[in-house]
Amino acid sequence: MGLHGGAQASFSSVWWLRCVHFTAQRLIIVQCSMANRIYPSALALNLLRFAANHRYLPAIVELGQYLFESGVGKADKRNGLEYLRQAAKAGESNAQFLLGHAFLQGCDVVAQNGQHAAHWLTLAAENGHNLALQLVELIQQNDAKLQDQTSPPDVKSVAPEITQEATKESAPV
């Protein structure tokens, strides 16, 4: 058995987790898109939870997003935030973006925090998330404009320029 058997077993478990995740996604599409449901059924969420609890990263992100954005109560939203945090720490750029956006806006389960928002949005942008990159650039532009508005004016730009000719004209004779 040895190393090859272990590698084959891990491939098999990943394959099953992909199947579970795929089934949950299709069930959610049918229920939410075609049956006009706002929130996925318990079966679909349990399938996602199964794959997420077995550390399948796409399922962790998807479950976290569903629970955080559409959770019925604060406990669901907190659990969703924790799933997103796990995926974000694992380097998943979409989870980093969602977490940064949550900290940027704040809500009933997470306090608004600019430093945490900047951290996660910057990581997402560095990992290739286009929306995060656009948002970070927009924030930086707004910060630069705000800093220009609040900083004291440059003395040289406000004071009239004094030339040698001006001093000769105004000097007493």
pLDDT tens-digit readout, 91-100: 999 999 999 9
Specify whether the CB–CB gap between 98 and 84 falls below 8 A: yes
pTM, to two decimals? 0.73
Domain boundaries, given as residue ranges, for the chain = 14-149
Quote the CA–CA distance of 69 and 7 in Å, as a whole number: 37
pLDDT of residue 144: 82
Residues 98-148 pLDDT 10s: 999 999 999 889 999 989 999 999 999 999 999 999 999 988 888 888 787
pLDDT of residue 6: 39
Distance of CA 172 to the CA centre of its chain: 68
CB proximity list for 79: less than 8 A, separation 6 or greater: 67, 71
pLDDT of residue 40: 84
Determine the CATH number of domain 14-149: 1.25.40.10
The DSSP H or E segment spanning 81 is helix 74-89
